[in-house]
Amino acid sequence: MRVLGVDPGLTRCGLGVVDGLGAGRQAGLVEVGVVRTPPGEDVALRLRAIADRIDDWLDRHQPEAVAVERVFSQANVRTVMGTAQVGAVAIIAAARRGLPVALYTPSEVKAAVTGSGRADKSQVTFMITKLLGLAEPPAPADAADALALALCHLWRGPALARVRAAVTAAGGGAP
């Protein structure tokens, strides 16, 4: 399975693509990068630039799923708004292609790749480097976070899909 991870941010949006076979199996790096937009530029132009780059990555890598960091409340409302807007751009780009989208909280991602939902950024980066067998840690942290999102989905996504299918088959709503 190929997964695109998106660590949304208006100034720096991390993108990472991994290939893998599922939980506990070796995964490989396809590409990692960061989309940067100038803070002083109009927000509409910044969102369009990010959307264009995400579209490029989706076209080039043809992922089977997209994992996006779920926005959580922070003290800085401007940061939350920008993060939410970029997350929505990624979700729409995936939906236009009929790709499944999974949203994960930062603690879910940290727990998936480090074993602790309270891991710091350096621990996440260290584990991503080891798990993907990289010679150098991905930088900046947004790039490592995007790869962590992709790995989280690679390992947890199939189980979540089975749970959703079972709930739907039983006549319930989506969990």
Catalytic (active site) residue 31: no
Instruction: Give the residue from 33, 69, 35 showing the smallest Cα distance to 52.
Output: 35
Catalytic (active site) residue 64: no
Q: Which of 52, 59, 69, 108 is catalytic?
A: 69
Q: Is 171 left (phi over 0), alpha (psi -120 to 50) or beta?
A: left
Catalytic (active site) residue 55: no
Name residue 57's amino acid: W
Instruction: Give the residue from 72, 71, 70 showing the smallest Cα distance to 103.
Output: 70
> Looking at the annotation, which residues are catalytic?
7, 69, 142
